[in-house]
Amino acid sequence: MPLPIAQDLDAAQVFTRLLSVFWNEAVTPHWNTVLGASLALYVAGRQLAERRPPGNVMAWGLLMLVSPVAGLLLFILFGVRKRHEMARLRLSVARVAGRVRATDAAGDFADDTTTAGNRVTLLADAGGTDTFLALRERIAKATESIHVLTYIFGSDATGRELVRLLAARAREGVKVRVLIDDLGSRDADAALFRELTDAGGEVARFMPVAPWHPRHSANLRNHRKLAVFDGTSAIVGGQNLAAEYTGPTPMNGRFRDFGALVEGPAVGAFARLFAADWCFATARSPETLRADLAVQPAPVGTSSIEVVGGGPDFVNDPIWDKLVTLAADCRRELIIVTPYIVPDEVLLRLIAAKARSGRRVRIITPRKSDHRFLDFARRHHLRILRDAGAKIFFHEGPMLHGKLFVVDGEVGVLGSANLDMRSLFVNFELATVVRDEAVVARMRALADELQAQSKPASRPRSRAMSLKERTLENLAHLAAPLL
Protein backbone atom coordinates (compact mmCIF):
# COMPACT_ATOMS: atom_id res chain seq x y z
CA MET A 1 0.00 0.00 0.00
CA PRO A 2 1.26 3.57 -0.52
CA LEU A 3 3.21 5.09 2.34
CA PRO A 4 1.40 7.96 4.12
CA ILE A 5 4.26 10.44 3.94
CA ALA A 6 3.52 14.17 3.51
CA GLN A 7 5.63 16.23 1.09
CA ASP A 8 6.72 18.76 3.73
CA LEU A 9 8.42 16.22 6.06
CA ASP A 10 12.20 16.49 6.40
CA ALA A 11 14.56 13.52 5.87
CA ALA A 12 14.69 12.53 9.54
CA GLN A 13 10.92 12.46 9.79
CA VAL A 14 10.63 10.46 6.57
CA PHE A 15 13.13 7.90 7.91
CA THR A 16 11.26 7.67 11.21
CA ARG A 17 7.95 7.15 9.39
CA LEU A 18 9.46 4.47 7.14
CA LEU A 19 10.96 2.69 10.14
CA SER A 20 7.61 2.76 11.92
CA VAL A 21 5.80 1.32 8.91
CA PHE A 22 8.44 -1.41 8.50
CA TRP A 23 8.22 -2.31 12.18
CA ASN A 24 4.42 -2.45 12.24
CA GLU A 25 3.99 -4.21 8.90
CA ALA A 26 7.01 -6.52 8.66
CA VAL A 27 8.32 -7.14 12.16
CA THR A 28 5.46 -7.06 14.64
CA PRO A 29 3.27 -9.68 12.89
CA HIS A 30 6.24 -12.05 12.69
CA TRP A 31 7.93 -11.12 15.95
CA ASN A 32 8.49 -14.69 17.11
CA THR A 33 10.14 -15.67 13.82
CA VAL A 34 12.35 -12.57 13.67
CA LEU A 35 13.43 -12.98 17.29
CA GLY A 36 14.11 -16.69 16.83
CA ALA A 37 16.16 -16.15 13.68
CA SER A 38 18.17 -13.35 15.30
CA LEU A 39 18.89 -15.41 18.40
CA ALA A 40 19.75 -18.46 16.27
CA LEU A 41 22.36 -16.40 14.37
CA TYR A 42 23.76 -14.95 17.60
CA VAL A 43 23.97 -18.33 19.29
CA ALA A 44 25.53 -19.93 16.21
CA GLY A 45 28.19 -17.21 16.18
CA ARG A 46 28.96 -17.73 19.88
CA GLN A 47 29.07 -21.50 19.49
CA LEU A 48 31.33 -21.38 16.44
CA ALA A 49 33.67 -18.94 18.22
CA GLU A 50 33.96 -21.49 21.04
CA ARG A 51 34.59 -24.28 18.50
CA ARG A 52 31.54 -26.23 19.51
CA PRO A 53 30.72 -29.41 17.58
CA PRO A 54 28.27 -28.87 14.68
CA GLY A 55 25.64 -30.90 16.54
CA ASN A 56 25.68 -28.37 19.40
CA VAL A 57 25.34 -25.44 17.01
CA MET A 58 22.41 -27.02 15.20
CA ALA A 59 20.67 -28.12 18.41
CA TRP A 60 20.83 -24.67 19.98
CA GLY A 61 19.88 -22.93 16.72
CA LEU A 62 16.84 -25.16 16.28
CA LEU A 63 15.78 -24.51 19.87
CA MET A 64 15.99 -20.74 19.29
CA LEU A 65 13.85 -20.98 16.16
CA VAL A 66 11.19 -23.14 17.81
CA SER A 67 11.00 -21.30 21.15
CA PRO A 68 13.07 -18.08 21.29
CA VAL A 69 12.23 -17.06 24.86
CA ALA A 70 12.74 -20.48 26.43
CA GLY A 71 15.80 -21.02 24.21
CA LEU A 72 17.40 -17.75 25.30
CA LEU A 73 16.81 -18.56 28.96
CA LEU A 74 18.33 -22.03 28.57
CA PHE A 75 21.28 -20.62 26.61
CA ILE A 76 22.02 -18.10 29.36
CA LEU A 77 21.90 -20.90 31.92
CA PHE A 78 23.62 -23.67 29.98
CA GLY A 79 24.97 -22.47 26.65
CA VAL A 80 28.19 -20.58 27.37
CA ARG A 81 31.17 -22.85 27.99
CA LYS A 82 34.31 -20.69 27.91
CA ARG A 83 35.40 -18.11 30.49
CA HIS A 84 38.28 -16.12 29.05
CA GLU A 85 39.00 -14.36 32.32
CA MET A 86 39.66 -17.78 33.85
CA ALA A 87 42.07 -18.70 31.06
CA ARG A 88 43.97 -15.48 31.75
CA LEU A 89 43.98 -16.22 35.48
CA ARG A 90 45.38 -19.71 34.91
CA LEU A 91 48.22 -18.26 32.84
CA SER A 92 48.80 -15.63 35.52
CA VAL A 93 49.22 -18.42 38.09
CA ALA A 94 51.79 -20.08 35.81
CA ARG A 95 53.68 -16.80 35.48
CA VAL A 96 53.79 -16.34 39.25
CA ALA A 97 55.09 -19.91 39.56
CA GLY A 98 57.72 -19.14 36.95
CA ARG A 99 58.92 -16.04 38.79
CA VAL A 100 59.15 -17.67 42.21
CA ARG A 101 60.72 -20.84 40.86
CA ALA A 102 62.83 -19.20 38.13
CA THR A 103 62.39 -22.28 35.98
CA ASP A 104 62.99 -20.69 32.59
CA ALA A 105 65.62 -18.42 31.11
CA ALA A 106 63.60 -15.28 31.73
CA GLY A 107 62.48 -16.41 35.16
CA ASP A 108 59.00 -15.28 34.29
CA PHE A 109 56.90 -18.23 33.11
CA ALA A 110 56.52 -21.90 33.95
CA ASP A 111 53.84 -24.23 32.65
CA ASP A 112 55.61 -27.58 32.63
CA THR A 113 52.65 -29.94 32.38
CA THR A 114 54.77 -32.91 31.27
CA THR A 115 57.48 -34.13 33.61
CA ALA A 116 59.61 -37.22 34.21
CA GLY A 117 60.77 -38.73 37.50
CA ASN A 118 57.39 -39.32 39.11
CA ARG A 119 56.06 -42.17 41.24
CA VAL A 120 52.48 -43.38 40.69
CA THR A 121 50.58 -45.64 43.08
CA LEU A 122 47.17 -46.82 41.88
CA LEU A 123 44.30 -46.59 44.38
CA ALA A 124 41.79 -49.08 43.09
CA ASP A 125 40.59 -51.52 45.72
CA ALA A 126 37.06 -52.81 45.20
CA GLY A 127 35.93 -51.61 48.63
CA GLY A 128 36.88 -47.99 47.96
CA THR A 129 38.99 -47.74 51.11
CA ASP A 130 42.51 -47.18 49.81
CA THR A 131 41.81 -43.65 48.59
CA PHE A 132 40.47 -42.65 52.01
CA LEU A 133 43.42 -44.30 53.78
CA ALA A 134 45.86 -42.52 51.46
CA LEU A 135 44.12 -39.22 52.17
CA ARG A 136 44.30 -39.84 55.91
CA GLU A 137 47.99 -40.71 55.73
CA ARG A 138 48.90 -37.67 53.62
CA ILE A 139 46.85 -35.33 55.79
CA ALA A 140 48.74 -36.60 58.84
CA LYS A 141 52.14 -36.17 57.16
CA ALA A 142 51.60 -32.67 55.73
CA THR A 143 53.63 -29.94 57.37
CA GLU A 144 52.88 -26.81 55.30
CA SER A 145 49.69 -27.01 53.26
CA ILE A 146 46.76 -29.22 52.32
CA HIS A 147 44.67 -28.27 49.28
CA VAL A 148 41.52 -30.25 48.52
CA LEU A 149 39.29 -29.84 45.46
CA THR A 150 36.23 -32.01 44.81
CA TYR A 151 32.89 -32.01 43.05
CA ILE A 152 31.01 -33.73 45.90
CA PHE A 153 31.97 -33.35 49.56
CA GLY A 154 29.57 -35.54 51.46
CA SER A 155 27.71 -34.45 54.58
CA ASP A 156 28.03 -38.07 55.74
CA ALA A 157 30.44 -40.15 57.83
CA THR A 158 33.23 -39.83 55.24
CA GLY A 159 32.83 -36.07 54.92
CA ARG A 160 32.63 -35.51 58.66
CA GLU A 161 35.74 -37.63 59.30
CA LEU A 162 37.73 -35.73 56.69
CA VAL A 163 36.66 -32.41 58.23
CA ARG A 164 37.81 -33.68 61.63
CA LEU A 165 41.21 -34.74 60.24
CA LEU A 166 41.69 -31.46 58.37
CA ALA A 167 40.64 -29.36 61.37
CA ALA A 168 43.19 -31.12 63.57
CA ARG A 169 45.99 -30.19 61.15
CA ALA A 170 44.72 -26.62 60.78
CA ARG A 171 44.94 -26.20 64.56
CA GLU A 172 48.57 -27.28 64.32
CA GLY A 173 49.37 -24.52 61.85
CA VAL A 174 49.05 -26.34 58.52
CA LYS A 175 47.37 -24.18 55.87
CA VAL A 176 44.19 -26.03 54.86
CA ARG A 177 42.12 -24.94 51.87
CA VAL A 178 39.04 -26.84 50.69
CA LEU A 179 37.31 -25.95 47.40
CA ILE A 180 33.97 -27.60 46.61
CA ASP A 181 31.63 -27.27 43.66
CA ASP A 182 28.52 -25.39 44.70
CA LEU A 183 26.10 -27.64 42.85
CA GLY A 184 27.78 -30.99 43.46
CA SER A 185 28.27 -30.23 47.17
CA ARG A 186 24.92 -28.50 47.67
CA ASP A 187 24.28 -30.58 50.82
CA ALA A 188 27.62 -29.58 52.39
CA ASP A 189 26.59 -26.50 54.35
CA ALA A 190 28.60 -24.21 56.59
CA ALA A 191 27.76 -26.31 59.64
CA LEU A 192 29.61 -29.29 58.14
CA PHE A 193 32.82 -27.27 57.89
CA ARG A 194 32.46 -25.23 61.10
CA GLU A 195 35.08 -27.24 62.98
CA LEU A 196 37.55 -26.66 60.13
CA THR A 197 36.87 -22.95 59.71
CA ASP A 198 36.97 -22.38 63.48
CA ALA A 199 40.41 -24.03 63.45
CA GLY A 200 41.67 -21.58 60.80
CA GLY A 201 41.01 -23.63 57.69
CA GLU A 202 39.42 -22.05 54.62
CA VAL A 203 36.47 -23.34 52.59
CA ALA A 204 35.27 -21.86 49.30
CA ARG A 205 32.45 -22.75 46.93
CA PHE A 206 33.12 -22.83 43.19
CA MET A 207 30.68 -20.95 40.94
CA PRO A 208 27.57 -20.62 43.12
CA VAL A 209 24.34 -21.32 41.28
CA ALA A 210 22.79 -18.12 42.73
CA PRO A 211 22.51 -15.65 39.79
CA TRP A 212 23.31 -12.64 41.98
CA HIS A 213 26.78 -13.97 42.78
CA PRO A 214 29.50 -12.29 40.62
CA ARG A 215 31.03 -15.70 39.81
CA HIS A 216 27.84 -17.69 39.39
CA SER A 217 26.96 -20.36 36.86
CA ALA A 218 24.24 -22.97 36.65
CA ASN A 219 26.06 -24.87 33.92
CA LEU A 220 29.84 -24.70 34.34
CA ARG A 221 30.65 -27.20 37.06
CA ASN A 222 34.02 -28.04 38.59
CA HIS A 223 34.16 -31.82 38.30
CA ARG A 224 37.87 -32.14 39.20
CA LYS A 225 39.01 -34.32 42.10
CA LEU A 226 42.39 -33.35 43.49
CA ALA A 227 44.24 -33.14 46.81
CA VAL A 228 47.74 -31.63 47.02
CA PHE A 229 49.94 -32.01 50.11
CA ASP A 230 52.89 -29.64 50.71
CA GLY A 231 53.17 -29.26 46.94
CA THR A 232 55.06 -32.58 46.77
CA SER A 233 52.36 -35.27 46.54
CA ALA A 234 48.84 -35.38 45.15
CA ILE A 235 45.85 -37.72 45.02
CA VAL A 236 43.88 -37.57 41.76
CA GLY A 237 41.18 -39.63 40.10
CA GLY A 238 37.42 -39.92 39.84
CA GLN A 239 36.34 -40.41 43.44
CA ASN A 240 34.27 -37.80 45.19
CA LEU A 241 34.76 -37.35 48.93
CA ALA A 242 31.60 -39.02 50.13
CA ALA A 243 30.69 -42.37 51.68
CA GLU A 244 29.15 -43.48 48.38
CA TYR A 245 32.65 -43.36 46.86
CA THR A 246 35.23 -43.91 49.62
CA GLY A 247 35.64 -44.39 53.35
CA PRO A 248 37.80 -46.03 56.02
CA THR A 249 35.94 -49.36 55.78
CA PRO A 250 34.29 -51.21 52.86
CA MET A 251 30.61 -50.51 52.25
CA ASN A 252 28.09 -52.55 50.28
CA GLY A 253 26.93 -50.85 47.11
CA ARG A 254 29.77 -48.32 47.05
CA PHE A 255 30.56 -46.97 43.58
CA ARG A 256 33.51 -48.74 41.96
CA ASP A 257 36.08 -46.04 41.35
CA PHE A 258 39.81 -45.47 41.35
CA GLY A 259 42.56 -42.90 41.34
CA ALA A 260 46.26 -42.55 42.03
CA LEU A 261 48.77 -41.15 44.48
CA VAL A 262 51.34 -39.11 42.54
CA GLU A 263 54.69 -37.97 43.91
CA GLY A 264 57.35 -35.98 42.09
CA PRO A 265 57.66 -33.01 39.70
CA ALA A 266 54.17 -33.48 38.19
CA VAL A 267 52.66 -32.26 41.47
CA GLY A 268 53.73 -28.74 40.50
CA ALA A 269 51.19 -28.77 37.66
CA PHE A 270 48.47 -30.07 40.00
CA ALA A 271 49.31 -27.27 42.45
CA ARG A 272 48.98 -24.63 39.73
CA LEU A 273 45.62 -26.02 38.64
CA PHE A 274 44.28 -25.85 42.20
CA ALA A 275 45.71 -22.33 42.64
CA ALA A 276 43.90 -21.05 39.54
CA ASP A 277 40.56 -22.52 40.67
CA TRP A 278 41.04 -21.22 44.21
CA CYS A 279 41.94 -17.72 43.10
CA PHE A 280 38.91 -17.54 40.84
CA ALA A 281 36.52 -18.81 43.50
CA THR A 282 37.88 -16.48 46.20
CA ALA A 283 38.72 -13.46 43.98
CA ARG A 284 42.29 -13.48 45.29
CA SER A 285 45.51 -12.73 43.48
CA PRO A 286 47.84 -15.61 42.58
CA GLU A 287 50.49 -13.71 44.54
CA THR A 288 48.76 -14.86 47.74
CA LEU A 289 49.83 -18.43 46.91
CA ARG A 290 53.47 -17.66 46.12
CA ALA A 291 54.81 -19.97 48.81
CA ASP A 292 52.79 -22.92 47.51
CA LEU A 293 53.72 -22.25 43.88
CA ALA A 294 57.42 -22.01 44.75
CA VAL A 295 57.68 -25.69 45.69
CA GLN A 296 59.70 -27.76 43.20
CA PRO A 297 59.25 -31.48 43.96
CA ALA A 298 62.33 -33.61 43.38
CA PRO A 299 62.27 -36.65 41.06
CA VAL A 300 61.34 -39.81 42.97
CA GLY A 301 60.37 -42.40 40.34
CA THR A 302 60.33 -43.51 36.73
CA SER A 303 56.92 -42.36 35.47
CA SER A 304 56.49 -39.64 32.89
CA ILE A 305 53.28 -37.75 33.59
CA GLU A 306 51.33 -35.22 31.57
CA VAL A 307 48.79 -33.21 33.57
CA VAL A 308 45.91 -32.25 31.27
CA GLY A 309 43.25 -29.85 32.48
CA GLY A 310 40.12 -29.16 30.51
CA GLY A 311 37.17 -26.83 30.75
CA PRO A 312 36.12 -23.19 30.51
CA ASP A 313 39.57 -22.02 31.71
CA PHE A 314 41.23 -23.37 28.55
CA VAL A 315 40.89 -21.76 25.13
CA ASN A 316 40.79 -25.16 23.43
CA ASP A 317 39.67 -28.58 24.69
CA PRO A 318 42.91 -30.25 25.84
CA ILE A 319 41.41 -33.46 27.24
CA TRP A 320 39.43 -34.09 24.06
CA ASP A 321 42.54 -33.27 22.00
CA LYS A 322 44.61 -35.74 24.04
CA LEU A 323 42.09 -38.59 23.76
CA VAL A 324 41.74 -38.04 20.01
CA THR A 325 45.52 -38.03 19.58
CA LEU A 326 45.99 -41.18 21.66
CA ALA A 327 43.16 -43.01 19.86
CA ALA A 328 44.58 -42.00 16.48
CA ASP A 329 48.00 -43.34 17.49
CA CYS A 330 46.60 -46.69 18.65
CA ARG A 331 48.35 -49.57 16.85
CA ARG A 332 47.12 -52.66 18.68
CA GLU A 333 44.70 -52.19 21.57
CA LEU A 334 42.45 -49.55 23.07
CA ILE A 335 40.75 -50.09 26.44
CA ILE A 336 38.07 -47.68 27.63
CA VAL A 337 36.45 -47.78 31.07
CA THR A 338 33.79 -45.13 31.58
CA PRO A 339 30.46 -44.76 33.41
CA TYR A 340 28.90 -42.79 30.54
CA ILE A 341 29.76 -43.13 26.85
CA VAL A 342 28.25 -40.34 24.76
CA PRO A 343 31.28 -38.93 22.89
CA ASP A 344 31.13 -36.39 20.09
CA GLU A 345 30.95 -37.57 16.49
CA VAL A 346 34.68 -37.15 15.81
CA LEU A 347 35.87 -39.27 18.74
CA LEU A 348 33.07 -41.81 18.19
CA ARG A 349 33.96 -42.32 14.52
CA LEU A 350 37.68 -42.46 15.29
CA ILE A 351 37.24 -45.23 17.86
CA ALA A 352 34.92 -47.08 15.48
CA ALA A 353 37.48 -46.75 12.67
CA LYS A 354 40.15 -48.26 14.90
CA ALA A 355 37.92 -51.22 15.69
CA ARG A 356 37.03 -51.64 12.03
CA SER A 357 40.69 -51.65 11.02
CA GLY A 358 41.49 -54.58 13.31
CA ARG A 359 42.59 -52.91 16.54
CA ARG A 360 41.30 -54.62 19.65
CA VAL A 361 38.87 -52.15 21.19
CA ARG A 362 37.33 -53.02 24.56
CA ILE A 363 34.76 -50.80 26.25
CA ILE A 364 33.64 -51.48 29.84
CA THR A 365 30.67 -49.52 31.12
CA PRO A 366 27.91 -50.09 33.71
CA ARG A 367 24.91 -52.12 32.65
CA LYS A 368 22.77 -49.47 34.33
CA SER A 369 24.33 -46.16 35.36
CA ASP A 370 23.05 -43.62 37.86
CA HIS A 371 21.88 -41.40 34.95
CA ARG A 372 19.16 -43.26 33.08
CA PHE A 373 18.80 -40.57 30.42
CA LEU A 374 22.47 -41.03 29.49
CA ASP A 375 21.85 -44.78 29.26
CA PHE A 376 19.32 -44.08 26.54
CA ALA A 377 21.65 -41.56 24.87
CA ARG A 378 24.50 -44.10 24.70
CA ARG A 379 22.52 -46.71 22.74
CA HIS A 380 23.16 -45.07 19.37
CA HIS A 381 26.89 -44.80 20.10
CA LEU A 382 27.21 -48.37 21.36
CA ARG A 383 25.49 -49.72 18.24
CA ILE A 384 27.98 -47.91 16.01
CA LEU A 385 30.94 -49.19 18.04
CA ARG A 386 29.63 -52.75 18.27
CA ASP A 387 28.90 -52.89 14.53
CA ALA A 388 32.46 -51.67 13.88
CA GLY A 389 33.88 -54.60 15.85
CA ALA A 390 34.43 -53.12 19.31
CA LYS A 391 33.80 -55.44 22.25
CA ILE A 392 31.29 -53.96 24.69
CA PHE A 393 31.12 -55.24 28.27
CA PHE A 394 28.42 -54.30 30.78
CA HIS A 395 29.74 -54.24 34.34
CA GLU A 396 27.55 -56.00 36.87
CA GLY A 397 27.13 -55.11 40.53
CA PRO A 398 27.75 -51.68 42.08
CA MET A 399 27.85 -48.64 39.84
CA LEU A 400 31.11 -48.43 37.87
CA HIS A 401 32.22 -44.80 38.19
CA GLY A 402 35.92 -45.13 37.30
CA LYS A 403 37.54 -43.83 34.12
CA LEU A 404 40.46 -45.38 32.23
CA PHE A 405 41.83 -44.93 28.72
CA VAL A 406 44.70 -47.36 27.98
CA VAL A 407 46.48 -47.43 24.62
CA ASP A 408 48.74 -50.28 23.44
CA GLY A 409 49.74 -51.06 27.02
CA GLU A 410 52.05 -48.03 26.84
CA VAL A 411 49.96 -45.02 27.85
CA GLY A 412 47.26 -44.86 30.51
CA VAL A 413 44.88 -42.02 31.31
CA LEU A 414 42.88 -41.70 34.53
CA GLY A 415 41.09 -38.78 36.08
CA SER A 416 37.72 -37.11 36.46
CA ALA A 417 36.55 -36.86 32.83
CA ASN A 418 33.86 -39.19 31.55
CA LEU A 419 33.58 -40.04 27.87
CA ASP A 420 30.66 -37.71 27.28
CA MET A 421 30.33 -34.27 25.79
CA ARG A 422 29.74 -32.50 29.10
CA SER A 423 33.04 -33.77 30.49
CA LEU A 424 34.94 -33.24 27.24
CA PHE A 425 33.63 -29.79 26.39
CA VAL A 426 31.89 -28.11 29.36
CA ASN A 427 33.01 -29.19 32.83
CA PHE A 428 36.25 -28.30 34.59
CA GLU A 429 38.05 -31.65 34.42
CA LEU A 430 41.46 -33.18 35.09
CA ALA A 431 43.22 -36.04 33.31
CA THR A 432 46.53 -37.64 34.27
CA VAL A 433 48.40 -39.23 31.37
CA VAL A 434 50.94 -41.82 32.56
CA ARG A 435 53.76 -43.30 30.53
CA ASP A 436 55.38 -46.07 32.56
CA GLU A 437 55.32 -49.71 31.52
CA ALA A 438 54.78 -51.08 35.04
CA VAL A 439 52.04 -48.60 36.01
CA VAL A 440 50.18 -48.97 32.71
CA ALA A 441 50.36 -52.75 33.14
CA ARG A 442 48.55 -52.34 36.46
CA MET A 443 45.93 -50.17 34.77
CA ARG A 444 45.44 -52.84 32.13
CA ALA A 445 45.16 -55.52 34.84
CA LEU A 446 42.50 -53.39 36.55
CA ALA A 447 40.55 -53.25 33.28
CA ASP A 448 40.87 -57.04 32.97
CA GLU A 449 39.50 -57.41 36.51
CA LEU A 450 36.53 -55.19 35.67
CA GLN A 451 35.92 -57.11 32.45
CA ALA A 452 35.85 -60.36 34.42
CA GLN A 453 33.02 -58.85 36.49
CA SER A 454 31.13 -57.89 33.34
CA LYS A 455 29.08 -59.61 30.68
CA PRO A 456 29.53 -59.09 26.93
CA ALA A 457 26.83 -56.99 25.33
CA SER A 458 24.63 -59.28 23.30
CA ARG A 459 23.26 -58.26 19.93
CA PRO A 460 19.72 -56.94 20.45
CA ARG A 461 16.86 -59.26 19.64
CA SER A 462 15.00 -58.50 16.46
CA ARG A 463 11.89 -57.35 18.29
CA ALA A 464 10.92 -53.78 17.54
CA MET A 465 11.43 -51.25 20.30
CA SER A 466 8.33 -50.00 22.01
CA LEU A 467 7.14 -46.51 21.21
CA LYS A 468 8.29 -45.37 24.66
CA GLU A 469 11.80 -46.82 24.22
CA ARG A 470 12.16 -45.41 20.72
CA THR A 471 10.96 -41.97 21.82
CA LEU A 472 13.28 -41.86 24.83
CA GLU A 473 16.27 -42.98 22.77
CA ASN A 474 15.57 -40.44 20.03
CA LEU A 475 15.11 -37.63 22.53
CA ALA A 476 18.28 -38.60 24.39
CA HIS A 477 20.27 -38.80 21.17
CA LEU A 478 18.95 -35.42 20.06
CA ALA A 479 19.78 -33.87 23.42
CA ALA A 480 23.22 -35.51 23.67
CA PRO A 481 25.10 -32.40 22.45
CA LEU A 482 23.47 -30.40 25.26
CA LEU A 483 24.07 -32.93 28.06
How would residue 254 be classed by pLDDT, with cut points 50, 70 and 90?
very high
Residue 43: its pLDDT value, please?
63
How far, rounded to the nearest angstrom, does the alpha carbon of residue 389 sit from its chain's CA centroid?
A: 29
pLDDT of residue 134: 98
What local confidence, expressed as pLDDT, does residue 104 receive? 47
Report residue 187 CA to chain centroid gap: 20
Our measurement of the distance from residue 192's CA atom to the centroid of its chain's CA atoms, rounded to an integer in Å, reads: 25
CA distances from 378 to 67, 297, 480 (A): 27, 42, 9
- CA 127 to chain CA centroid, Å, is 25
Phi first, then psi: what are they for 358, rounded to 5°? 105, -5
Average pLDDT over residues 347-369: 97
CA dist 465 and 470 (Å) reads: 6
Cα separation, 201 vs 374, in Å, equals: 38
C-alpha closest to that of 260 among 450, 448, 90, 430: 430
pLDDT for 105: 42
Position 461 scores a pLDDT of: 53
* Range(s) of the chain covered by CATH 3.30.870.10: 84-303, 318-482
Lowest-pLDDT range, 8-22, 232-246, 304-318, 342-356?
Answer: 8-22
CB 350 within 8 A of CB 407: no
Q: Which CATH number fits domain 318-482: 3.40.605.10, 3.30.870.10, 3.40.50.2300, 3.40.50.300?
A: 3.30.870.10
Distance CA 203, CA 192 (A): 11
pTM of the model: 0.84
d(C-alpha 356, C-alpha 353), whole Å: 5
First to last CA, the chain: 50
What rounded mean pLDDT belongs to the chain? 85
Q: Among 211, 212, 210, 220, which Cα is nearest to 186's?
A: 210
pLDDT at 483: 57
Among the ranges 24-38, 78-92, 238-252, which has the highest mean pLDDT value?
A: 238-252
Rounded CA Rg of the chain: 25
Could you tell me where the beta strands, DSSP code E, fall in 276-328? 303-310
**What are the strands, taking DSSP E only, across 95-151?**
114-123, 145-150
314 pLDDT band, cuts 50/70/90, is confident
Could you tell me which CATH number the domain at 84-303 has? 3.30.870.10
